[in-house]
């Protein structure tokens, strides 16, 4: 394996133990050529560096245990909330409604967007749609600190 690096101001010939030599080109700038007698040493060093970076990445990507518990708690609340929304919609004559729930964290607070899909909802008058949204907002979610937005789509 030969490694080449630029040397800016050295010209002439230099040998130290046969491993380095300087070759001058026409511009007066030289190149140092380092030849490795044992390529397995370089390969071993590169593999060790690769393993170290991978191990560091694995350690850094572990999630905070408190955040994991919080996410698990919210997942249970979200599932319960979606099921209760579906039941309430079925009671109003909108069975087989699609309900999706997404959240965004802003300033440490979760804001949820609940989207309700049902073909008959789009045929309702604006006032009836607003009453349906208000009825769905009365459904209790596990954490009162969360923001909630309900969107009706067909």
CA distance 4 to 24: 13
- Tokens 């909630």 map to which residue? 148
- Report the SS3 class of residue 131: helix
The tokens for 48 are: 């060790």
- pLDDT tens-digit readout, 43-86: 888 899 888 887 776 655 566 788 888 889 999 999 999 999 99
What sign does the CA torsion over 134, 117, 77, 69 have? negative
- The pTM for the full model equals 0.57
Q: Which residues pair with 113 in a beta bridge?
A: 102, 149
């Amino acid at each position: 394996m030969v490694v080449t690096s630029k040397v800016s101001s050295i010209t002439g010939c230099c040998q130290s133990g046969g491993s380095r030599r300087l070759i001058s080109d026409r511009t007066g700038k030289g190149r140092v050529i380092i030849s490795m007698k044992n390529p397995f040493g370089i390969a071993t060093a590169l593999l060790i560096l690769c393993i170290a970076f991978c191990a560091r990445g694995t350690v850094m990507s572990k999630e905070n245990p408190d955040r994991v518990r919080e996410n698990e708690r919210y997942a249970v609340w979200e599932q319960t909330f979606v099921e209760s929304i579906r039941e309430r919609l079925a009671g109003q004559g909108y069975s087989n409604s699609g309900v999706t729930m997404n959240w965004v964290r802003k300033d440490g607070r979760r804001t949820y967007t609940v989207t309700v899909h049902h073909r008959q909802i789009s045929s309702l008058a604006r006032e009836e749609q607003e009453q349906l949204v208000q009825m769905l907002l009365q459904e209790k979610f596990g954490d009162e600190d969360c923001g909630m937005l309900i969107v009706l789509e067909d």
